[in-house]
Structure 1
Amino acid sequence: MSYAIYVGRNHSRTGHAWLAGYGDEPSSHWLEIVPAADHLEGATIEVGVGPGADMPGQRIAVPQAAHTLRHMRVSYSYYLGVPAPITNGGVNAAGVAVRDVWSTSRAELREMTPRDQRGFTYSDLARAVLERATSARGAVELCAALIAEHGEASYGGNSHLFADADEAWVMIQFAGGQGLWVAERLGPDSIRASRPGYVLEVPVDEPDHPDFLYAPNFVSFAREQGWYDQGPFDANAIYGDGKGRWEGIRWIEAEMQARAARPEKIGLEDMIWAIRTERLTGDTAGYGQVVPLVRAANPGLVPMWHAACGALSAPFSPVFLGQESIPAEYGPHRYLTTGESHRFMDLRKAVSGGRDTVSLVPQRHETTVGAFQDCKRLMYLMQLTGEGALAPVHGAFARREVCLDELVAAHLKVAELAVQGGCAAEAMRVLESFANGELSAALALVRDLAAGLAAQLTGAGPHPAPDRPAGFGQIW
């Protein structure tokens, strides 16, 4: 399902907006920094779903952009048959951040979705925005144009939250194969959570309203179906699940509004708390992201805070867009990667004509234990230990993150001066060394905490296995 939260700059201690969230998928996850690229005229990319997807369709080739932007994202290998690698969040060199969140459409729209649907999946749209968009509104317009020209391959309804330094837009894409979508602008005073993504009342009697955009057939199709006649147009009631703001959304938005009302307003630790709290985050969360929506002096200085699995059991560390590498532990591994169960690190079958038999994961990565796997182990140890594990683990994470927040500010200040002095390449090397050192330190902390909890469980003596997986009380 995934989760996103946006906080406008007027609520921010540091004067910039924030976008944070996590992806909710069962497969392996890995961090990627994708370089900018120029593409030959006539270059294409493949988008859509195949016949094996839960809501099947046909893959199609569409034109690639002439130039794609440098960006960083988290990728994963499986969700409802959508072809890998899949992504639902990151930030690009223009400072545009993306979060993708499920948003189911009404049953009639799901039923009328063509079985041979063609077009961009939620992941294709998120990737296209990371590669091409230079503003949050531009991201909406890009997705609208791609859907209008090439169609959309839905898995039942979806949403995106696009954000830049000035504003954010929630965009809902509805199932049904009708090209239906709506987008709402969020400004400096907004606090908005998505799980699922939602847009409520749309002022359809004001077609030039600056805070709303929607498909040309947005109103007419609802009338044709008998779902709308006149009066207020509630997009969620007419095209969505009709539930409005779910309980978890109401809770976290109220909590963040209360924090924003304090004299100190909202800082990094509050954004991390919103992604880490055990009331919202558990085993389904595949990673965590917090993006400060800043205007960087150089694209390489664009930062993102990354947690290798659900932040319940993973500390956040800074990553910078100018990095050329990340530790292998944070790259792809075979653990929980769909398709790897029938592949080998062995070329003999491939040489003899075997198909799809060689691992897609670099062998060097398999010489390390994946960060995702390490953090998952800590999560299960925490859940088996019980509520008493939360305070020491989260306290250790928080103390580290407070210190890191200050170090990141200092490194960025020095890096900006270096860039101004013509030493951009040297600045990026220093940031990369700092960030990679902290990513490695984060794993060392996770392993130490896991060792402590494992010893605690062992010392408690034998105990019967629980009838069901242990966990903490979540709202969703």
Structure 2
Amino acid sequence: MSYALYVGRNHSRTGHAWLGGYGDEPSSHWLEIVPATDHALGSMIEVGVGPEAHMPGRRISVPQAAHTLRHMRVSYSYYLGVPAPITNGGLNEAGVAVRDVWSTSRRDLIEMTPKDQQGLNYSDLARVVLERATSARGAVELCADLIAEHGEATYGGNSHIFADADEAWVMIQFAGGQGLWVAERLGPDSIRASRPGYVMEVPVDDPAHPDFLWSPNLVSFARAQGWYDGGPFNVNAIYGDDKGRWDGIAWIEAEMQTRAARPEKIGLEDMIWAIRTEKLTGDTAGYGQVVPLTSSADPALAVMWHAACGALAAPFSPVFLGQEVIPPEYSAHRYLTTGESHRFQDIRKAVSGGIDTISLVPQLHETSVGAFQDSKRLMYLMQLLGDATLAPVHEAFGRHEARVSDLLQAHLHVAEEAIRAGLYAEAIAVLSAFSNSELMSALSLTRNLATGLSVQATVATPSDAQGSPIGFNQIW
């Protein structure tokens, strides 16, 4: 289902907006930094879903852009049969951040979706925006154009939040194969959570309204189906689940409004808390992201705070868009990667014709521990031992993050001065070393905490204990 949270700059202690969240998927997750690339004339990309998807379709090829932007994202290997690698979003060199969140459509739309649907799936849209968009509004317009030209391959309805330093847009894509979508602008005074993504009343009588965009058929199709005959156009009631803001959304939006009302407003630790709290985050969360939506002096200095799995059991560390490498511990591993259960790190299998028996994961990665897997171990220990683990683990994470946040500002200042002096490579080297060091420090902290809790678990839990999995009390 996933989760996203946008906080406008007027609520921010540091004067810029924030976008945070996580993805809800069962498979492995890994961090990637994708370089800017020039593509040959006529290059194509394959998009959509195949017959094996939960809501089946037909894969198609669409034109690739001549140039794609540098960006960083978290990828994963499985969700409802959507072809891997999949992404919910990240941050690009133009300062556009993306979060993808499920948003179910009404049952009628799901049932009328063609069984041979074609077009871009939710991950395709998130990836293409990261590759091409230079503004949040431009991201909406890009998706609208692609859907109009090529269609959308749905899994029942979806949404995105696209954000830049000035504004954000919530875009809902509805099932049904009709190219239906709507988008709402979020400004400096907005606080908006998505899980699911929602838009309520749309001013359809004012097509020039600056805060809303929608597909040309949004109203006419509803009229033709008998779902709308005038008056306020509540798009959630007409095309969505008619539930409005779910309980978890209402709770976290109220909590963040309370924090925004304080003299100190909302800072990094508040955004991290909102992505970490056990009321919202558990085993389904595959990672954590918090993006400060700043206008960097150079795109290489743009930062995304990353947690290796659900932030309930993983500390956040900064990753810079300009850095060239990330530790293999945070890259792809075979653990929970779809398809790896029947593959080998053995080239003889390829020689004998068993192409699909060769692992897709670099062997170097498998020589390292996996941050995602180690964080999962800590999560399960915390859940097994109960609420008493939350305060000490989160306090340790908070100390790590506060220390790194202070160091981050110093490193950014040094890097900015170095770039002004023409020492670009040296600036990137400093930032890369800092980020990689702190990512490894975060992993070390996670493993040490897990070691301590495992001792408690050995004492507190019978060796033959079975039964249902234990988790914290989540709102959703």
Q: What TM-score do you get using the length of structure 1 for normalisation? A: 0.99
Q: Which amino acid aligns with 1:377?
A: R
Cα distance in 1 for partners of 2:150, 2:466 equals 50
Cα distance in 2 for partners of 1:297, 1:387 equals 43
Q: Which amino acid aligns with 1:253?
A: E
Q: Deviations over 1:20-54 (max 9, x none)?
A: 00000000000000000000000000000000001
Q: Which amino acid aligns with 1:173?
A: Q
Aligned to 2:257: 257
The Cα shift of 1:436 comes to: 0.1
Cα distance in 1 for partners of 2:461, 2:44 equals 60
Q: Which amino acid aligns with 1:54?
A: H
RMSD, matched Cα: 0.8
Pairs within 5 Å for 1:273-284: 273-284=273-284
Aligned to 1:294: 294
The Cα shift of 1:463 comes to: 6.3
| Secondary structure, counterpart of 1:406 in structure 2 | helix
Of the structure 1 ranges 348-357 and 4-13, higher mean CA displacement relative to structure 2 is found in 348-357
The Cα shift of 1:120 comes to: 0.1
- 1:68 and 2:68 equivalent? yes
Aligned to 1:469: 469
Q: Which amino acid aligns with 2:215?
A: A
Cα distance in 2 for partners of 1:21, 1:148 equals 28
Q: Deviations over 1:284-338 (max 9, x none)?
A: 0000000000001111000000000000000000000001000000000000000
Can you give the 5+ residue segments of structure 1 that lack an aligned partner in the other structure? none
| Secondary structure, counterpart of 1:356 in structure 2 | helix
Q: Which amino acid aligns with 1:82?
A: V
The Cα shift of 1:460 comes to: 3.1
Cα distance in 1 for partners of 2:30, 2:354 equals 27
Aligned to 1:430: 430
Aligned to 2:232: 232
Aligned to 1:403: 403
- 1:16 and 2:16 equivalent? yes
| Secondary structure, counterpart of 2:363 in structure 1 | coil
Q: Deviations over 1:75-128 (max 9, x none)?
A: 000000000000002000000000000000000000000000000000000000
Aligned to 1:83: 83
Q: Deviations over 1:406-460 (max 9, x none)?
A: 1111111111111111111110110000000000000100010001000112233
Q: Which amino acid aligns with 1:398?
A: G
Of the structure 1 ranges 345-354 and 367-376, higher mean CA displacement relative to structure 2 is found in 345-354
Aligned to 1:201: 201
The Cα shift of 1:355 comes to: 3.0
Cα distance in 1 for partners of 2:339, 2:322 equals 32
Can you give the 5+ residue segments of structure 2 that lack an aligned partner in the other structure? none
Pairs within 5 Å for 1:290-369: 290-369=290-369
Of the structure 1 ranges 408-417 and 87-96, higher mean CA displacement relative to structure 2 is found in 408-417
Of the structure 1 ranges 84-93 and 413-422, higher mean CA displacement relative to structure 2 is found in 413-422
Aligned to 1:394: 394
Q: Which amino acid aligns with 1:246?
A: W
Is the alpha carbon distance of 1:461 and 1:149 closer, same or farther for their aligned partners in structure 2, counting shifts above 3 Å?
closer
Pairs within 5 Å for 1:165-184: 165-184=165-184
- 1:271 and 2:271 equivalent? yes
Aligned to 1:413: 413
Cα distance in 1 for partners of 2:123, 2:241 equals 22
Cα distance in 2 for partners of 1:27, 1:128 equals 22
Is the alpha carbon distance of 1:474 and 1:133 closer, same or farther for their aligned partners in structure 2, counting shifts above 3 Å?
same
The Cα shift of 1:172 comes to: 0.0
Pairs within 5 Å for 1:82-231: 82-231=82-231
- 1:370 and 2:370 equivalent? yes
- Percent identical among aligned pairs is 78
The Cα shift of 1:466 comes to: 4.9
- 1:31 and 2:31 equivalent? yes
Q: Which amino acid aligns with 1:360?
A: L
Cα distance in 2 for partners of 1:276, 1:263 equals 23
The Cα shift of 1:462 comes to: 2.7
The Cα shift of 1:403 comes to: 1.2
Q: Which amino acid aligns with 1:13?
A: R
Cα distance in 1 for partners of 2:417, 2:81 equals 47
The Cα shift of 1:461 comes to: 5.9
The Cα shift of 1:202 comes to: 0.1
Q: Which amino acid aligns with 1:152?
A: E
